[in-house]
Amino acid sequence: MQHDPSLSAPDAARELSSLTRGATALGREVVDIAGFLQALDARSRSQLTALSEVGQASDNVAAANGRVSSNVRAVAQSAAEAGERVENSIGTLARSGKAARELARWVKSVHAENDLVEEMLGAVKTSNSQIASIASQVNILAVNAKIEAARAGDAGRGFAIVAEAINELSQQTGAAVNAISATIARMSDWIEELNSGALHTSQEAETVLSGSEAADAALSEIRDRMGTLRGATARIAEDMERASAAVEELRPTVAGIQSSIGEVARGVDEASRRCDRLVDGSEAILQHAVAIGGTGEDAAMIALVRDLAARVSQSFDAALTAGRISMQALFDTQYKPIPGSDPQQLLAAFTPLTDALLPPIQEPVLARDSRIVFCAAVDRNGYLPTHNAKFSQPQGKDPVWNAANSRNRRLFDDRVGLKAGRNTKPFLLQVYRRDMGGGTFVMMKDLSAPISVRGRHWGGLRLAYRF
């Protein structure tokens, strides 16, 4: 950079300081815009994802509606067919019910006529008994006639023939009476069984007759409900058709919105990347301005962070010399997760050493200036083993609280953290937005200086402070 020869040294210093302030202000504005674009990019991606899910959901709904519509149409067809079958069945049941009622009435009439049959059998028994008595008397008469004919001798021979015939008739009548008695006895038993069955059937017939009206009412209700079911199924089919049409109309609209949001998201992403390059450019301008003497308000902080980084380097070197740690362990990158930690905390082979060496160097710095927020060393990967005490609280059950208060043993591999850990220049001044939670951000400066041990770059010491 060439200086105006007309400017005196004090004027040149003022110009450089002005350039430094301008570069700082530029960096602040660019970082603020970059943060806004990053948030907008995140929201755009979120909306794009949501719209993609909506599109997929609308496709799924359309497919489901198609399946449901097909099923509803099948149900409607089945309901119509079932209705016809029910109508036929109701007719059959009605005819069966009518026949059952007629049968029940006939059974009752049979049961009612059993008493008459029993009376007729009783009359037959009485008449048969009388016939049996007459036959017995005739038989006695025939015997007496034969005796008298024998006394009369030849004169009673004709009478003896008649007596014999009467006797034979008496015998035949007695045999007939016995046969009739046996038949009447069997008929009486059968009539008794028939009467018992008729009594039971008559009782069942009473149930059939008394339930016939309820059966008719139930059949009528079945017919009505089947009609209602057919009507409801038809209305559902119509509603599903309208829903399918609405979804089909929605799908191209969702696709159009998704395409539009996608274009916006791509534009925001490109703007965000360009803004990141602007941030890098503004930081480079600030670095050059400071390098040529325009330290301005950050001069004291730059001197402090370089001194602190040198002290850390010396402490590590002394630990190597004393055998407290090996070079391999000091540069370990095999971070081991701490079980149950949320957010995830990690351990490295050198974490116990940094817990012992860094607090006496880092902690007193917080009291030197009210603007200083933290002072902590990170390795080349952004791993922060030992933080300030106020950010090293034991983790609790709330991950949000842990994220703000348990920041030690964490990996901060964001843009600012990685650049601070990997910078090898005398110092690096970055401007960034610090997330304070709840959508609140604070503009911060992150000043770092490299930490090297025996010619090997270990990481950097970060000093963060407010504007």
Length in residues, the chain: 467
pLDDT per position as a tens digit, 248-276: 776 687 777 767 777 666 766 666 666 66
Q: What is the CATH number of the domain that holds 233?
A: 1.10.287.950
Mean pLDDT value across the chain: 78
Q: Do 242 and 314 fall into the same domain?
A: no
Give the per-residue pLDDT at 243. 72
pLDDT per position as a tens digit, 48-71: 677 677 767 767 776 776 777 677
Residue 58 lies inside a defined structural domain of this protein: no
Residue 15 lies inside a defined structural domain of this protein: no
Which residues lie below 8 Å from residue 241, measured CB to CB, with a gap of 6+? 69
Which residues lie below 8 Å from residue 180, measured CB to CB, with a gap of 6+? 124, 128
Average the pLDDT over 152-169 and give the result: 73
Q: Select from 252, 285, 308 the last residue of a domain.
A: 252
Give the per-residue pLDDT at 237. 72
Lowest mean pLDDT: which of 153-157, 448-452, 462-466?
153-157
pLDDT per position as a tens digit, 331-346: 999 999 999 999 999 9
Domain count along the chain:
2
Residue closest to 351 by CA, chosen among 417, 422, 410, 409: 409
Determine the Cα–Cα distance for residues 140 and 420; give it in Å rounded to an integer: 152
Local structure of residue 393 (DSSP, 8 states): P
Q: Do 190 and 104 fall into the same domain?
A: yes
Lowest mean pLDDT: which of 10-14, 90-94, 184-188, 243-247?
10-14
Average the pLDDT over 2-13 and give the result: 54
Residue 349 lies inside a defined structural domain of this protein: yes
Q: Do 317 and 372 fall into the same domain?
A: yes
Give the per-residue pLDDT at 163. 72
Q: Do 226 and 331 fall into the same domain?
A: no
Q: Do 115 and 247 fall into the same domain?
A: yes
Tokens of 300: 């004291």
pLDDT(45) > 80:
no
Q: What is the CATH number of the domain that holds 342?
A: 3.30.450.20
Q: How confident is the model at residue 2 (pLDDT cuts 50, 70, 90)?
A: very low
Q: Do 136 and 204 fall into the same domain?
A: yes
pLDDT per position as a tens digit, 341-396: 999 999 999 999 999 999 999 999 999 999 999 999 999 999 999 999 999 999 99
Residue 445 lies inside a defined structural domain of this protein: yes
pLDDT(18) > 90:
no
Determine the Cα–Cα distance for residues 204 and 209; give it in Å rounded to an integer: 9
Residue closest to 230 by CA, chosen among 84, 91, 88: 84
Question: What is the extent of the structural domain holding 436?
Answer: 295-466
Q: Other CB atoms closer than 10 Å to residue 360's CB: what's the count?
A: 10
Give the per-residue pLDDT at 424. 95
Q: Do 209 and 308 fall into the same domain?
A: no
pLDDT per position as a tens digit, 307-317: 999 999 999 99
Q: Select from 252, 270, 305 the last residue of a domain.
A: 252
Cα torsion at 232, 236, 238, 242 (round to 10°)?
150
Determine the Cα–Cα distance for residues 156 and 151; give it in Å rounded to an integer: 8
- Say which amino acid occupies 32: D
Q: How far is CA 410 from CA 338, 375, 417, 425, in A?
A: 10, 15, 11, 24
Q: Do 216 and 135 fall into the same domain?
A: yes
Residue 394 lies inside a defined structural domain of this protein: yes
Pairing of strands 346-347, 336-337: antiparallel
pLDDT(427) > 80:
yes
Beta bridge partners of 462: 376, 448
Q: Select from 200, 220, 252 the last residue of a domain.
A: 252
Determine the Cα–Cα distance for residues 354 and 428; give it in Å rounded to an integer: 22
Prediction pTM value: 0.52
Q: Do 458 and 315 fall into the same domain?
A: yes
Determine contact, residues 437/376, Cβ cutoff 8 Å. Answer: no
Q: Do 304 and 231 fall into the same domain?
A: no
Beta bridge partners of 441: 435
- Say which amino acid occupies 75: V
Residue 27 lies inside a defined structural domain of this protein: no
Give the per-residue pLDDT at 1. 44
Q: Do 248 and 302 fall into the same domain?
A: no
Determine the Cα–Cα distance for residues 106 and 93; give it in Å rounded to an integer: 19
Residue 81 lies inside a defined structural domain of this protein: yes
Give the per-residue pLDDT at 186. 74
Residue 4 lies inside a defined structural domain of this protein: no
Average the pLDDT over 406-427 and give the result: 95
Give the per-residue pLDDT at 28. 59
Percent of residues, the chain, with pLDDT higher than 90: 32
Q: Do 304 and 432 fall into the same domain?
A: yes
Q: How confident is the model at residue 451 (pLDDT cuts 50, 70, 90)?
A: very high
Q: How far is CA 139 from CA 7, 386, 390, 463, in A?
A: 181, 144, 142, 152
Determine the Cα–Cα distance for residues 50 and 434; give it in Å rounded to an integer: 28
